[in-house]
Structures are given as structure tokens and as C-alpha cells.
Structure 1
Amino acid sequence: MDFNVKKLASGAGLFLTRAVQFTEEKLGQAEKTELDAQFENLMSRADCTKHWTEKIYRQTEVLLQPNPSARIEEFLFEKLDWKVPSRVTNAELLGQYMQDAAKEFDLGTPYGNTLEKVGECEKRLGEAEREFLQTSAISFLTPLRNFLEGDWRTISKERRLLENLRLDLDACKTRVKKAKVAEAKAATAPDFQETRPRNYVLSASASALWTEEVEKAEHELRIAQTEFDRQAEVTRLLLEGISSTHVNHLRCLHEFVEAQAAYYKQCHLHMQELQKELGSMVTEGSSSPVETDTLKIEEVQAPATGTRKARVLYDYDAADSSELSLLADEWDTNNIRLILP
């Protein structure tokens, strides 16, 4: 119990020291150890990589699964280490509906037969889409997520540790600086004309104490500098690994493009086959036209003798004196005129 209390007190003191150092730096009252330009460039590159990788990852998720509820469900299944249930694609569902409708309408009719063929094609499109989604998730989304949830978290952790060690280092530098100022002030030659010898003894004792304090502060500074340098090297190696991350993501991007191209090519082939099938159905239908009850012109025989008659189908108002005004169902035996629109 006593050990835990001491550890807690030590941690609280360290946190307070870092907070004071951070505040003084923000107020311009303390010096800050600056990292070299190359290190700063590495950190900027890492931040940029994380920013755009996250954006690309999120938007690719939206592309592959536009339904936000489905994305949340898949996320929860993955976090719980449960198997994600197989989901029917929209194209497959549409194809199934078309085939069910074709059975209801009778496959022997042109409409029912066409529904059956289009439904089968939609199912094949849905299967191709599911295969594309699975391939893209494995070859593209998974590496991006591994970087964000693995490598980047490690980099962020080491950078936070480096920042804490930098605050400790700068706090030690400030402590050494203050101790040296106090030592110099205490080492000022005492006034030998002082009639009270006790003051002279106290002055010498204070000088010795500040000298000891300076030595202690310098020792802590050397330790802090060593820890900071070691952590800076570890962080630098992790940041330099971003180049390998770019190479890996480039390979994954090529695989994603190949999967997408194969998917669209397969969809195009399926649609071409469907067009050929539908075209052949139209050709067969035109070669054997369906008999209708439409009256043919050659079947209309003019009367051999007598007067020709014409029945008026619609009311018509004459536009000028050269035309006739007629009423619907009126029979005109004197003037037969064909009026075209």
C-alpha cells in the first residue's frame, strides 16, 4: 500500500512538472527543445498519410456498402469476432423478383419469358458484385484498416512518449539553469566587514548546497537527454516506415483497380449476352407475326354500283369556305373528303 502511494505521488509530481513546463512554453517563459527539420518532415508526412488514408478508407466503405446501417452491423460483428452474415445484393434480389413475376405471368408469354431471362442476368450481375465486394475488402480495405488500427496507433503512442520525454528534458534544463543562477548568487564574496560571523557561515553553507543542487540537476539532465535521444531514434525509425506503408498501399491500390476492372468487364459481358438473347427473341417474333383482327385495306371492296357514302367520326368546324362543317356519325353522300392532320 505504501508503495502504491509513493508511486501515485511520484506520477502526480511528474505530471505537474510537465504541465508547468508546457504552460511556460506556451507563455514564452521557457525554452523548448526543437526537433531537426528532417524529423519534422517525417512527422508531417506521417500525419498527411494518416489523414488521407482515413478519408480513402471511409469513402471506399461507402462505395462498397452505401447502407450505413449495414456498415454499422458489419462493424459490430467484426468487433465481437462474429461471422458476418452473407448479404444478398440488390441485383440478386431484383433478379429473384423478376423470375417470380415471370412464373406468375406464364413463361410462355413474351413478357414472362423476357422477365425470366433478365432476372437470370441480374442474378449473375449480383454474384459478380458480391465477388467484387469480397475481393476489394480483402485486398484493399483490410490493409488500410490495419495501418490505421495498428501501425498508426503505435506511431501515435511513441510520439506521445517522445513529447513527454521532451517536456522532462526541458524541465531539467530549466532546473539546471535556475540552480546555476542561485549558485552564482550564493557564491558572491561575503562582506568581511560583517560584524556578525554567523552570516558569513550561512553564506558559505548556502553556496555548498546550491553547488550540490547543480550537480544533482545536471545528473538528471544527462539521464533525461539519454532517454529523449533513445526515444527520438525509435520514433524516427517508425516514421521512416511510412515509406514502406506507401509501397504496400500502392500494391493494394493496383489490386483494387484490377478487381474493379474485372467486375465491370464481367458485367459488360453479361449485358451483351442478354442483349443478344433479347434480340433473337425479337427476330423470331417478327418472322412469325401474330394474327390480329385488324381490317386490311385490300379487304375493303368498293360497291359495284350505287352511291358512295362516308360516315363522319368526329365533329369538325370548317376553317374557311373551301371546307365542310360536319357532325359526328353524320353520313355524307355528296362530298367525300379525306382530311389529314
Structure 2
Amino acid sequence: MSFTGLRKQINKANQFMSEKIGGAEGTKLDEEYIHCEKQIDAMSKLIEEIITKTHEYLQPNPATRAKLATLNTFNKIQGKGKAPPYPQPEGQLGDCMLKYGNELDHDSLFGECLIQTGYAFKNMEDIKYNMEDQVKREYIEPLRGIQSVELKEINFHRKKLEGRRLDFDCKKRKKESNPQAAKVLEAEIKVAEEKFQESKVLAETAMANFLASDFEHISALAEFVDAQASYYRHASEIMENLHKVLLEKKDEAQSRGKQTHNPKPLQITRTLSGEVSTKNGSMSSPRTPNKSPAGDGGSGPCCRALYQFEAENDTELAFSEGDIIQLIRQVDENWFEGRLRDKEGFFPVNYVEVIEPLPQSAMAYPTN
């Protein structure tokens, strides 16, 4: 920094302290400029809060948002791809219905209806992801652009204006307190006043132009509403079509009526020795209860896969939904190391449900 620049910084600091502590009065800006400043401050807070609240609206579960943000950060450090998308409740409900609908008999109308409903909710999940992408692209990104470009430039001009005002007022105060140096300071005061005026014009013009850009702001808001309208329109169509199908299945079930079922009685006779004779005459000794077989994961810490996970490199462990994985250790709050079918590797914590937890000694990071 040059000597002239250093002296200006000292003058600004001197004037600032004089106003805050000594009660010195600085040059007052006109009401129109002050009104513009208040409007810009309100817009800055508005945009910041709208971005936050929109994210909360699209992804309402704070714990899941935090987990995905952590996983994204972890993946960036390791040079991996993005974390899995936010799990939509429509998709989770659809998966549940599809799972149990397929477990019922093939001729079960209720099972068929569950499958139809499950697919409908999976379609709802797809259109919700599309809506979320559209909102981020057409609404949130433009708002972030306003923050990083237009408001940043306006705040730069405002800060420069305040600095030049302090410099101008400091030189005026020096002139008033030292009449002998008035002639020397007059030229400096004139230059400082011109720069002060120049900064005021730049800052006020930038603020006025921004506040007059209602068209751009309303266009972005309209894109947000359009994404919502499109989502609810498609969701309504999916539900209406599903409702028609379910009404048809209901009528079909009613026309079938309830089928009567007569359980066949067991035909068992016992001999004096305690052996059991079935209808065809074969003999067998009384059976003792079988012990429950061991779980698929064997003894020791293990977990069950909630989703399918595809490994992106040799260090990761791929698995399918429902697999039982033996736990070796927990690397950090987001990653386990485990073993499945003689293969070891890493996998995300939020992809599994722990059945038998790891001992404290197997935790590779502090839990406190």
C-alpha cells in the first residue's frame, strides 16, 4: 500500500472513531438514497431466506439433508461422484407396496392392487425429482446469481461510498479545527468531495436499477410456481388413473364373492409306543422341536442392506437390497467396512440397517 493510501485509511479510521465515540456528525445522505439502501437490505435478507426455505420445502427431513451434505463433502474429498438423491417418501411407500404386493399370491386382487399403487407412487417419485430439478435450475440458481453478481456489486459500491464519505468528512473536520491549513486542505477536500459524489451516483444508480428489475424477479418466481403446477397436475393425473383402476378391481372382487375354505382335518392315530401313524400307514417317532437356524449374517456384528449399492472402485463393497453384511469396523460417521461373500470393502452407513452393532473398540472415529 502506498503512503497516500495508508494516510487515507488512517483518516477513515480516525473519522469513524470520532463519529462512534466522539459524537462527531458525518455528512448525511438524502432520503431517497437511504430508502434505496433499506430496500436493498430487505432484498438481500429475502433472497437468502427464500433459498433456505425452498430447500427445506423440497427436502423436509433435516437429518437426511445433513447426512447427504456430509456424504457429498466426503465424496468430493475422495474424488467420487455425488451422493444418492434425497429419498422421496413417495418412492419409499411405492417400494413397500411393490415388495409386499409381489409376496402375495398371483391370483390375489389385493396384491395386484398393491403393485398398481406401488408403481403409481414410484411415478410420483419420478415427477417429484423432475420438479425439484426444475426449481433448482429455474429458480434457486437465478437467485444465487443475484447474490453473487448484482448484490455483490451493489455492496461494493456502497462500501466504497462509505469509505469516501469518511475521508471527505475527516478532511472537512481537519479544516475546521486548523484554520491555518485551510488553503492547503481546500484542494484535497475538493478532490474528496468529487470522489464522494461519484461513488454516490454509482451506488444509487446500481440500487435503483436492481430495484426496478421486477420483470426478472417475477419471471423467476413464475418458474417456481410453474414447476409446482406441473408437478401437481401430473400427480393428479396419476392418482385419477389409479383410482379408476382400483374401482374396477373393487367391482371385480365384489363379483367374485368370498371363497369358502374348508380345512381338512388331520387323520392321526397313536400307538402304545408313542409312534404316530398317518393316513397311509407309515410310522414315525415323535419329533422334537428344531432349533432356529442361524441368521444369514452369522454371529457377530452385522447389518441388513436397505438399498442396492453399486461399488465405484475396488475399495467399495457392492450389495443388493436385503443382503446381510458382516461389519468389520466403522470408518467414520458415514462409512462402514464390512464383508459379504468373502469380499471386503467400504459402503455408506445410510444404505443399511444395523442388526448387531459393532463393539466400541471397532469404532475408528470418536463418537463423543
Q: Write out per-residue CA displacement over residues 178-227 of structure 1, whole angstroms, 9 at most, x where no aligned residue.
A: 231xx3xxxxxxxxxxxxxxxxxxxxxxxxxxxxx322211111111111
Give the secondary structure class of the aligned counterpart of 1:241.
Answer: helix
Show the counterpart of 1:38. 32
Amino acid at match of 2:37: M
> What is aligned with 1:136?
135
Q: Deviation at 1:73?
A: 5.1
Match among 225, 248, 262 for residue 230 of structure 2: 262
Q: Return the alpha-carbon distance in structure 1 between the equivalents of residues 72 and 203 of structure 2.
A: 31
Is the radius of gyration larger for structure 1 or structure 2? 1
Q: Which amino acid in 2 is paired with 1:254? A: A
SS at match of 1:34: coil
Match of 2:55 among 52, 55, 61: 61
Which residue of structure 1 aligns with residue 323 of structure 2?
Answer: none
The answer for the alignment partner of 1:243 in structure 2 is 211
* CA distance, structure 1, for counterparts of residue 71 and residue 130 of structure 2: 17
Tell me how many residue pairs correspond in the alignment: 257
Alignment match, 1:100: 99
1:154-173 aligned at under 5 Å gives the runs: 154-173=153-172
Aligned 8 A contact 1:143 1:249 in 2: no
In 1: Cα distance, 2:121 partner to 2:41 partner? 44
Question: Contact 1:169–1:228 at 8 Å: present in 2 too?
Answer: yes
Query: In 2, distance between residues paired with 1:40 and 1:22?
Result: 19
Unaligned runs of 5+ in 2: 263-368
User: Partners of 1:219 and 1:153 in 2: how far apart?
Assistant: 33
Give the equivalent residue in structure 1 for 2:69: 72
Deviation at 1:255, TM superposition (A): 1.7
Q: Give the counterpart letter for 1:150 in structure 2.
A: V
Question: Take 1:138 and 1:91, find their aligned partners in 2: how far apart are those partners?
Answer: 22
Taking the aligned partners of 2:213 and 2:83, their CA distance within structure 1 comes to 31
Cα deviation for residue 29 of structure 1 reads 4.4
> What percentage of aligned pairs have identical amino acids?
25
User: What secondary structure, in the 3-state scheme, does the structure 1 residue paired with 2:107 have?
Assistant: coil
Contact persistence 1:30–1:174 (CA under 8 A): no
Pair 46,82 (structure 1): closer, same or farther in 2 beyond 3 Å = farther
- Comparing both structures, which one devotes a greater share of its residues to helix? 1
Deviations 1:25-49 (A, max 9, x none): 2245433111111111111111111
Which residue of 2 is the match for residue 274 of structure 1?
242
Q: Does 1:20 align with 2:20?
A: no
| Letter of the structure 2 residue corresponding to residue 278 of structure 1 | L
Unaligned runs of 5+ in 1: 184-212, 295-341
Indicate the SS of the match to 2:60: coil
Say whether the 8 Å CA contact 2:68–2:83 is kept in structure 1: no
Q: Which residue is 2:220 aligned to?
A: 252
Is the 8 Å Cα contact of residues 179 and 214 (structure 1) preserved in structure 2?
A: yes
Q: State the 4+ residue runs in structure 1 displaced beyond 6 angstroms.
A: 79-83
For the aligned residue pairs, the C-alpha RMSD in angstroms reads: 2.7
Question: Could you tell me the TM-score, scaled by structure 1's length?
Answer: 0.68
C-alpha separation in 2, matches of 1:71 and 1:40: 42
Distance 1:293 1:29, change over 3 A: closer
- Within 2, Cα distance between the matches of 1:240 and 1:289? 74
Q: Letter of the 1:46 partner, please give it.
A: I
What is the CA distance between 1:150 and its match in structure 2? Answer: 2.1
| Counterpart in the other structure of 2:43 | 49
- Partner Cα separation in structure 1 for residue 137 and residue 71 of structure 2: 14
1:113 aligns with 2:112: yes
Q: Deviations over 1:81-116 (max 9, x none)?
A: 997556253322332332222222233212321221
Letter in 2 for 1:58: T
Shift of 1:12: 4.6
| Residues in 2 aligned to 1:74 and 1:242: alpha-carbon distance in whole angstroms | 37
Classify the secondary structure of the residue corresponding to 2:178: helix
